[in-house]
Amino acid sequence: MKNILDRNQNKANEVRNLLASRKVLMVNIISSPGAGKTTLLERTCEALASKFRIGVIEGDVTTDRDAQRLKKYNIPIVVINTEGGCHLDSHSISKVLDSFDLDNLDVLFVENVGNLICPSQFDLGETFKLAVVSTAEGDDKPDKYPMLFREAKAVLLNKIDLIQYTNFNHENFTRDLKKINGKILQFDVSCTRGDGLEEWFKWITDQISHLTSEPEAYF
């Protein structure tokens, strides 16, 4: 396992250096299945595709259904089917980067395979990891899967409109999250209803703009 991770890290460093040289922000989005990654990407493309040049790498075990949902935004999309694998790795990312015109890209979103464990262990060469969690999953995810939340720069708590129908305890979730990572940013959103998304749009806009002017701040 150590050898696998070491090889992955070496390639991840190559990917990161390449993207930094082209001033491309790459966001590795990690969540459980059904937490709302694709809906988040839909809303983000709706809001920002006119301002930034967006690309998407769709990781999934099989099918291209998520990619089909994003085709209407007329952005470059590459699908990586893992054929049973539980995560993407830096080698798979490196192989598909040639499919993008990196000189004409501002941000590359990677929708990783739905899984809170394996994707957290593999650096893809991303600028940062983004965790997406839904209230329907319960408030214990940071405590049960600390590695993701320790490494993520931000977490989107999705489906806040469903809290009243669940036993989700917002105070417990936030407390556990801050205990694991005191610097992590938390956005409470509803991707379907739109609650809280303006704050997310502003933040991700700042990340893209900041990288364009000062890439060294991220690496």
Write the pLDDT tens digit of every residue in 149-172: 999 999 999 999 999 999 999 999
Distance between CA 105 and CA 127 in Å, rounded? Answer: 14
Task: Report pLDDT digits (tens) over 55-71.
Answer: 999 998 888 999 999 99
Q: Please give the pLDDT value at position 83.
A: 81
Q: CATH no. for residue 34?
A: 3.40.50.300
**Domain count across the chain:** 1
Q: Please give the pLDDT value at position 6.
A: 84
Torsion sign across C-alpha atoms 159, 65, 154, 148: positive
128: containing domain: 2-217
Phi and psi dihedrals of 74, rounded to 5?
A: 55, 50
**pTM score:** 0.93
What number is the average pLDDT over the span 14-34? 97
Residues 6+ apart with CB under 8 A from 84: 61
Q: For residue 111, what are the β-bridge partners?
A: 29, 58
CB 26 within 8 A of CB 108: yes
What number is the average pLDDT over the span 201-210? 97
